[in-house]
Chain A
Amino acid sequence: MSDRIFGAIGLLLAAGYAWAALIIEESFLSDAVGPKAFPLIIAVVLALASLAIFLKPDADPHWPSLGRLLEIFAAGGVMVVYALALPELGFVIATALAAGYLTWRLGSGALGSVATGICTSLGIYVVFHLVLGLSLAKGPLGF
């Protein structure tokens, strides 16, 4: 079943891709092939592959329970928030929070999570910023 849904989404993706390729504005200065042809070929390959997946699906993978699935999306959400918060909070605080969250969800205890988060953040800051001189996000506090 999963592969059928995957194949169907793939077909939609191919159609969307082909449509996006067709609306590319051609410039008056163009080579013999133009900017549209190759993306259209790719859209065809994508569609054929999706069709094959749809018609001849593999056995279903083992999908996690709803709780686990939410876990993964929550982690993805935390990473998104982390990316957006980096310039606001600065590297050290944002990283300590994100690393602490991840290790907590992977099964560390409360105290362990706080400690791991802070140590990871400070460790990376020391190694990559202070020793190697990489520029990291600066927050209002300057670190």
Chain B
Amino acid sequence: MDTLSSLADGFVIALTWQNLLLALLGCFLGTIMGALPGLGPSNGVAILIPLAFTLGLGATPSLILLTSVYYGAMYGGRISSILLNIPGDEPAMMTCLDGYPMAQKGQAGEALSLSGIASFVGAFLATWGLILLAPQLVKIALLFGPAEYFALFTLAFATLGGVASTNQAKTAFAAALGIGLAMVGVDTQTGVPRFTFGEVHLYDGIDFLVAIVGLFALSEVFIFLEHRHGNSDAAGKKVEIGRLMPSWAMLKYCTPTMLRTSLLGFLAGVLPGAGASLGSFISYSMEKRLVDKEGTFGTGDPRGVAAPEAGNNAAAGGALVPMLALGVPGSGTTAVLLAVLLALNITPGPLLFTQQPDVVWGLIAALFIANFMLLALNIPMIGMFTRILLIPPRILMPIVAMVSFVGIYGISGSSFDLLVMVGFGIMGWVLRKLDVPLVPVILGTLLGNAMESNLRRAISIDNGDWWTLIDSPLSASLWAVAVIGFVLPIVLGKVLKGRIKMAKDEEGSVTD
């Protein structure tokens, strides 16, 4: 009952005209960004954070805008999967398998709206899961001292590569690079400058927003330049949308699938190191094994569209649980959302629920609102979104670059930050070429300082004894999970990645 009344309060905060308008704008922009190949949820939110920030929006309105973009991008990713067989973002990859064959059979409209409904079901159920699970996790988190927090941060970094990671050394490199960058600036506890090399601009440290926008948005521009990939993928491919609403029979047929995969996706999202891509992969493979008796999966089975979409949107909701309750994100997009919170001077974690309940419940209410809006927006306006896919990157990418510059310039008004951002853009491009994941770099710049201060606090409390880090059962078990989480992918990673690829290749040979 307590939860419900808090939720009602949240709706009171979220339901103002300004916030509804922001949610609508966010959903709209998010869907576009998710649909366009090359602009995923992380990129989309990253570009908009500095803008929301410089526009002087308050905490709750900014959160509403940006979470709507996040959910919108998760919805939008499927559009190009279904119509073009090109995933708009990584989690939407599995949707290609049955979505594109459906489109070829002239059922594109049905596939799009069915996947929209599946996304809605997944995200809706996951938001309820968030409401129920997060407060429980908060209760555990309140037992955490600095030593446990340090272990938890290590755990987050160790598992960030995910179960499907191929090269853990590169993940570790990226994390260390990010944390190392966070050390730049005046040390908060002793006041001595570190790694500044006498440059006054560096005394404040490197703004993580500069790093995020450079690494995500600008490096994307460089990738497009590298391939001189200036023409739209949609050009020359004309797809008949067909009827828009799926029949009731089809919906009923897919309902058990959606419910099962929502649960599975949510769990995958909550667990560290899994994230939305794995959520959609597991959902698809489980459904295939469970209900695919006639071997129709991969040839345009509607359940094969519903399963990964419900799974990945549920995982997106599930990933918010550790981010809000512990302040430790488990995936790339939630890392970017953490940046949103930090930019607004809100520190997520157990205290957020007790000290700033209006932010938490306003956010949760915003998720519900965004969800309904996306459903309403996606089904009738799908034709418009498909037309947006025709915008060629040679026009789009310069706009992305310039808007990134505008946002960062708006924060500081100095050219120095812009130069640092260009540096991050080039670095991001090189790292991507070398297959080094960028998310640990981001997470490192975000969490590095908190990680260090927890370490120093823990050891100072125990008069300089370093063993204090592992002497409570809670922190010892966190360390154990961290070690297992880091080592396991070295064994399992290749197998899993191979299977995802194989599923995709099999599909390719069927459609071609």
Q: Per-residue CB proximity of A68-106 to B under 8 Å, as 1/0?
A: 100111011001101110110000000100111011011
Given A46-B173, A68-B226, A76-B222, is A82 in contact with B405 using a C-beta cutoff of 8 Å? yes
Min C-beta distance of A96 to chain B, whole Å: 10
Given A61-B433, A61-B434, is A75 in contact with B222 using a C-beta cutoff of 8 Å? yes
CB contacts (< 8 Å) of B189 on chain A: these are 31, 35
Main secondary structure of the interface of B (DSSP, over half): helix
Given A106-B397, A107-B394, is A79 in contact with B460 using a C-beta cutoff of 8 Å? no
- Could you tell me if A42 and B183 are in contact, using CB atoms closer than 8 angstroms? yes
Q: Which one of A76, A79, A86 has the greatest number of beta carbons of chain B within 10 Å?
A: A79
Given contacts A68-B225, A123-B399, A135-B54, 4 further A-B contacts (CB under 8 A): A46-B180, A75-B221, A107-B228, A134-B55
- Could you tell me if B394 and A108 are in contact, using CB atoms closer than 8 angstroms? yes
Min C-beta distance of B45 to chain A, whole Å: 18
CB contacts (< 8 Å) of B177 on chain A: these are 46
A64's nearest neighbour on chain B, judged by CB, is B226
Min C-beta distance of A48 to chain B, whole Å: 7
Min C-beta distance of A26 to chain B, whole Å: 7
CB contacts (< 8 Å) of B452 on chain A: these are 38
A95's nearest neighbour on chain B, judged by CB, is B402
- Could you tell me if A136 and B401 are in contact, using CB atoms closer than 8 angstroms? no
A143 to B224, CA, bound (A): 30
Question: Is A142 an interface position by the 8 A CB rule?
Answer: no
Question: Is B463 an interface position by the 8 A CB rule?
Answer: yes
Min C-beta distance of B437 to chain A, whole Å: 12
- Could you tell me if B187 and A35 are in contact, using CB atoms closer than 8 angstroms? yes
CB contacts (< 8 Å) of B426 on chain A: these are 72-73, 76
- Could you tell me if B190 and A102 are in contact, using CB atoms closer than 8 angstroms? no
CB contacts (< 8 Å) of B187 on chain A: these are 24, 35
Q: Per-residue CB proximity of A115-143 to B under 8 Å, as 1/0?
A: 01100110110001000111111000000
A–B pairs, 21, beta carbons within 8 Å: A2-B434, A6-B434, A10-B173, A20-B194, A26-B190, A27-B191, A32-B463, A38-B183, A46-B173, A52-B172, A56-B169, A68-B228, A79-B422, A80-B419, A82-B418, A83-B418, A99-B399, A102-B225, A107-B230, A124-B399, A136-B410
Question: Is B195 an interface position by the 8 A CB rule?
Answer: yes
A123 to B434, CA, bound (A): 36
Min C-beta distance of B471 to chain A, whole Å: 16
A74 to B399, CA, bound (A): 18
Main secondary structure of the interface of A (DSSP, over half): helix
A75 to B398, CA, bound (A): 11
CB contacts (< 8 Å) of A3 on chain B: these are 434
Q: Per-residue CB proximity of B203-222 to A under 8 Å, as 1/0?
A: 00000000000000010011
Question: Is A29 an interface position by the 8 A CB rule?
Answer: yes
CB contacts (< 8 Å) of A46 on chain B: these are 173, 176-177, 180
- Residues of chain B having any CB pair with chain A under 8 Å: 51, 54-55, 166-167, 169-170, 172-173, 175-177, 179-180, 183, 187, 189-195, 197, 218, 221-222, 224-226, 228-231, 393-395, 397-399, 401-403, 405-406, 409-410, 413, 415, 418-419, 422, 425-426, 429, 433-435, 451-452, 455-456, 459-460, 463-464
Min C-beta distance of B62 to chain A, whole Å: 13
CB contacts (< 8 Å) of A133 on chain B: these are 55
- Could you tell me if A42 and B179 are in contact, using CB atoms closer than 8 angstroms? yes
A2 to B400, CA, bound (A): 30
CB contacts (< 8 Å) of B397 on chain A: these are 102-103, 106
- Could you tell me if B459 and A134 are in contact, using CB atoms closer than 8 angstroms? no
Q: Give A8-59 interface residues, CB cut-off 8 Å to B.
A: 10, 17, 20-21, 24-27, 29-35, 38-39, 42-43, 45-46, 48-50, 52-53, 56, 58
CB contacts (< 8 Å) of B460 on chain A: these are 31-33
Given A46-B176, A83-B419, A106-B224, is A31 in contact with B190 using a C-beta cutoff of 8 Å? yes
CB contacts (< 8 Å) of A134 on chain B: these are 51, 54-55, 406, 410
Q: Which one of B177, B190, B230, B434 has the greatest number of beta carbons of chain A within 10 Å?
A: B190
CB contacts (< 8 Å) of B169 on chain A: these are 49, 52-53, 56
CB contacts (< 8 Å) of B406 on chain A: these are 124, 128, 134, 136
CB contacts (< 8 Å) of B54 on chain A: these are 134-135
A62 to B136, CA, bound (A): 47
CB contacts (< 8 Å) of B180 on chain A: these are 17, 39, 42-43, 46
- Could you tell me if B401 and A102 are in contact, using CB atoms closer than 8 angstroms? yes
Min C-beta distance of B54 to chain A, whole Å: 6
Given A61-B434, A134-B406, is A35 in contact with B222 using a C-beta cutoff of 8 Å? no
- Could you tell me if A71 and B226 are in contact, using CB atoms closer than 8 angstroms? yes
CB contacts (< 8 Å) of A82 on chain B: these are 405, 418
Instruction: For B393, give its contact among A26, A33, A86, A106 (CB under 8 Å).
Output: A106
A74's nearest neighbour on chain B, judged by CB, is B225
Instruction: For B190, give its contact among A21, A29, A61 (CB under 8 Å).
Output: A29
